[in-house]
Structure 1
Amino acid sequence: MYAAASLRASRFALPSTRTFSTTPRASFAKMQIIGRLAAEPETQTTKNGREYVRYAVGTDDGPRVNRQTSWYKVTCFDEGPRRDFLLNLPKGTLIHVDTNATMATFEDESGKKHTRLNLLQRSIEVLSRPRRQEGEGESEVEEATLSE
Structure 2
Amino acid sequence: MSFLLTPARRMTSAVPSISARTFATTRPSQLARLTLVGRLGADPELTDTGKGQIIKYVVGTSYGPKENRQTSWFRVASFAPEGAQRDYVMGLSKGTLVYLEGDATMRTYDDADGKKQSSLSLVQTKVEVLKRPQPKEEEAIA
Shorter-normalised TM-score: what interval? 0.7 to 0.9
What is the number of equivalent residue pairs in this alignment?
129
Partner of 1:79, secondary structure, is: coil
Give identity over the alignment, percent: 38
Per-residue deviation at 1:16? 6.4
Q: How is 1:112-123 mapped onto 2 (pairs within 5 angstroms)?
A: 112-123=115-126
Per-residue deviation at 1:116? 1.1
Q: How is 1:67-146 mapped onto 2 (pairs within 5 angstroms)?
A: 67-80=69-82, 81-135=84-138
Structure 1, unaligned runs of 5 or more: 7-14, 140-148
The structure with the larger Rg is 2
RMSD between aligned residues: 3.2
Structure 1 equivalent of residue 10 of structure 2:
none
> Separation in 2 of the partners of 1:70 and 1:120?
17
Cα 1:62–1:17 change in 2 (3 A) is farther
Q: How is 1:39-58 mapped onto 2 (pairs within 5 angstroms)?
A: 39-46=42-49, 48-58=50-60
Structure 2, unaligned runs of 5 or more: 8-14
Cα 1:35–1:138 change in 2 (3 A) is farther
80-89 vs 103-112, which deviates more? 103-112
TM-score (norm 2): 0.74
- Tell me which of the two structures has the higher relative contact order, counting C-alpha pairs closer than 8 angstroms and 6 or more residues apart: 2
Partner of 1:134, secondary structure, is: helix
